[in-house]
């Protein structure tokens, strides 16, 4: 009897592990829209709520805790998005783990960094260009000092936010143009006009943290 119970438990654990390993449901997306209020997202809590709301509206199956890929003056973006792996709406793997996400091994491109509905986000050369994604983060996933628009509470002429290019494109004169998370700071403040003026729309990267 004891052997039978142990065998059954082992089978269940293997089955659970296999199911978890094969879970390629969406766990990464770019928001299809921003807050509409520049970089004022209501702090991290408000940004996470945007991710959660859009994911649920898109019909994501299974309970997931969604986190915006954002740093603040006290928090690093890489420390709040879970362990991975992450997949887009089409089941394409974006990265295996935090280390690969912040290396050349990630699979973030214009064709794979899709919104929650599986649509491509317009980028450089498109009209409108929306490739600036808010991060407040350096290339290694740590916070970009004084580039978080007041920890995501500002929407005026003051402050700035580090942004990444989801399409990995930009002017040849910009050494960081191909960075998905640390291409350049916003210019002219944190307002909606300032964000759209450099090729953005206040969009966010969202990751399932569990």
Q: Is residue 3 assigned to a domain?
A: no
Instruction: Determine the structural domain holding residue 158 and report its residue range.
Output: 24-208
Question: Rounded to 5 degrees, what angle do the CA atoms 200, 206, 208 make?
Answer: 175
Q: Is residue 90 assigned to a domain?
A: yes
Q: Is residue 53 assigned to a domain?
A: yes
* 182 within 8 A of 138, measured Cβ to Cβ: yes
pLDDT of residue 153: 98
Q: Would strands 66-68 and 200-208 be described as parallel, antiparallel, or unpaired?
A: antiparallel
pLDDT of residue 21: 55
Q: Is residue 2 assigned to a domain?
A: no
Sites in the chain below the pLDDT cut of 70: 1-22, 61
Q: Enter the tokens of residue 120.
A: 């491509």
Q: Enter the tokens of residue 116.
A: 């929650």
Structure confidence by residue, pLDDT tens digits, 10-67? 434 434 444 445 588 999 999 999 999 999 999 999 999 999 999 999 999 678 999 9
**Measured distance between the N- and C-terminal CA atoms of the chain, rounded to whole angstroms:** 36
pLDDT of residue 32: 98
Q: Is residue 195 assigned to a domain?
A: yes
Q: Is residue 84 assigned to a domain?
A: yes
Q: What is the CATH number of the domain that holds 189?
A: 3.10.100.10
- Number of structural domains the chain divides into: 1
pLDDT of residue 22: 57
What's the burial of 165, exposed, middle or buried (CB within 10 Å: 0-12/13-18/19+)? buried
Q: Enter the tokens of residue 8.
A: 């059954």
Q: Is residue 11 assigned to a domain?
A: no
pLDDT of residue 62: 74
Q: Is residue 168 assigned to a domain?
A: yes
pLDDT of residue 23: 80
* 131 within 8 A of 123, measured Cβ to Cβ: yes
CA distance 37 to 196: 12
């Amino acid at each position: 009897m004891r052997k039978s119970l142990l065998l059954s438990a082992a089978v269940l654990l293997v089955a659970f592990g296999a199911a978890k390993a094969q879970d390629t449901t969406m766990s990464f997306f770019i928001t299809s829209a921003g807050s509409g209020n520049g970089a004022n997202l209501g702090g991290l809590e408000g940004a996470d709520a945007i991710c959660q709301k859009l994911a649920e509206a898109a019909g994501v199956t299974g309970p997931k805790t969604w986190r915006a890929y954002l740093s603040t003056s006290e928090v690093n973006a890489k420390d709040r998005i879970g362990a991975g792996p992450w997949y887009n709406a089409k089941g394409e793997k974006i990265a295996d783990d935090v280390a690969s996400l912040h290396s050349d091994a990630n699979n973030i491109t214009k064709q794979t960094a899709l919104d929650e509905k599986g649509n491509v986000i317009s980028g450089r050369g498109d009209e409108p260009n929306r490739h600036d994604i808010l991060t407040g983060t350096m290339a290694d996933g740590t916070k970009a000092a004084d580039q978080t628009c007041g920890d995501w509470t500002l929407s005026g002429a003051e402050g700035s936010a580090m942004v990444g290019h989801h399409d990995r494109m930009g002017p040849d004169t910009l050494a960081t143009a191909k960075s998905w998370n640390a291409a350049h700071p916003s210019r002219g403040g944190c307002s909606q006009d300032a964000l759209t003026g450099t090729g953005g729309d206040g969009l966010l990267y969202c990751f399932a943290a569990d």
